[in-house]
């Protein structure tokens, strides 16, 4: 058999101030009544309902204003979460709503119930993630969470140095080949000077052939000697 009580405080999952709820007798007797979270439903206690409703309205208005102000400020923040990873960049474990709540308190001094941080699945990858915050039934926000690794990454291998002729064959350095090719194109177009023609060598005479001798020049006649005197 259930016991009817009137809640005097907001209890998540059960109700808020001035709500009539039914609970087990043991739960009411051992927890709600000693903690002054509820009172028995009697004709005398019904008079307190209006007071409880007024207090509830004031609390909800204050909570709405506080969450609206928090939404405007928290949407501009980036919560940094550092995790350990292996050499391949994979995380050890995951980031939960409780982890994010702890970092908000540590980094920005913001106390937020982890149940208001809505994660469909724990975060298991590095990088930036947009997390939905359900601050109030009428107020939602988005928090940017950046997950970074505390494990230093291995140094990147240096690029392999190759000989210039190999670079030219792969299309990275075509300077020398382009120059030679340009010269061939210019030579075909006639833009460059033609190389000097080689001097023709005299043809050797065939064996057994004799060249004709040049005609001899006639010698001038000699003057006759004068006769000796007798």
Q: Rounded CA gap, 58 and 10, in Å? A: 13
The pLDDT score that the predictor gives to residue 47 is 79
Same fold, 3-66 and 75-149: no
Tokens representing 11?
Answer: 């209890």
49-87 tens-digit pLDDT: 888 888 889 988 999 999 999 999 998 999 999 999 887
186-198 tens-digit pLDDT: 555 554 444 454 5
pLDDT band at 16 (very low <50, low <70, confident <90, very high): confident
The more confidently predicted of residues 153 and 15 is 15
**How high does pLDDT run on average in the chain?**
78
Nearest to 74 by CA among 111, 125, 124: 111
The more confidently predicted of residues 41 and 191 is 41
Say whether 218 sits in a helix, a strand or coil.
coil
* Residue 11 DSSP label: B
* Residue 8 DSSP label: S
Percent of the chain scored above 70 by pLDDT? 67
Q: Is the pLDDT of residue 228 over 70?
A: no
Nearest to 3 by CA among 21, 30, 16: 21
Nearest to 6 by CA among 25, 32, 30: 32
92-112: average pLDDT: 93
The pLDDT score that the predictor gives to residue 229 is 43
Q: Rounded CA gap, 11 and 14, in Å? A: 5
Contacts of 20 (CB under 8 A, 6+ apart): 4, 5, 6, 41
22-36 tens-digit pLDDT: 999 999 999 999 998
Provide the pairing of β-strand 78-83 with 139-149.
Answer: parallel
The correct CATH number of 3-66 out of 3.40.5.10, 3.40.390.30, 2.130.10.10, 1.10.760.10 is 3.40.5.10
106-124: average pLDDT: 92
CATH superfamily of 75-149: Ribosomal protein L9, C-terminal domain (3.10.430.100)
Residue ranges of domains in the chain: 3-66, 75-149
């Amino acid at each position: 058999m259930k016991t009817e009580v009137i809640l005097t405080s907001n209890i998540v999952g059960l109700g808020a101030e001035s709500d009539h709820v039914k609970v087990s007798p043991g739960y009411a007797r051992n927890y709600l009544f000693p903690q002054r979270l509820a009172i028995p439903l009697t004709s005398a206690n019904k008079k307190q309902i209006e007071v409880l409703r007024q207090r509830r309205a004031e609390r909800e208005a204050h909570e709405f204003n506080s969450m609206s102000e928090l939404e405007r400020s928290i949407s501009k923040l980036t919560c940094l979460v550092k995790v350990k990873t292996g050499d391949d960049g994979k995380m050890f474990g995951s980031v939960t709503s409780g982890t994010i709540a702890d970092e908000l308190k540590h980094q920005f001094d913001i106390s937020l119930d982890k149940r208001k941080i809505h994660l469909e699945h724990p975060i298991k990858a590095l990088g930036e993630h947009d997390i939905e915050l359900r601050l109030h039934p009428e107020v939602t926000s988005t928090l940017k969470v950046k997950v970074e690794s505390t494990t230093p990454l291995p140094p990147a291998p240096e690029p392999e140095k190759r000989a210039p002729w190999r670079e030219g064959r792969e299309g990275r350095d075509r300077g020398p080949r382009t120059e030679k090719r340009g010269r061939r194109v210019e030579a075909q177009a006639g833009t460059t000077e033609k190389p000097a023609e080689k001097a023709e060598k005299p043809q050797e005479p065939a064996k057994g052939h004799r060249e004709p001798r040049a005609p001899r020049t006639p010698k001038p006649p000699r003057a006759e000697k004068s006769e000796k005197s007798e």
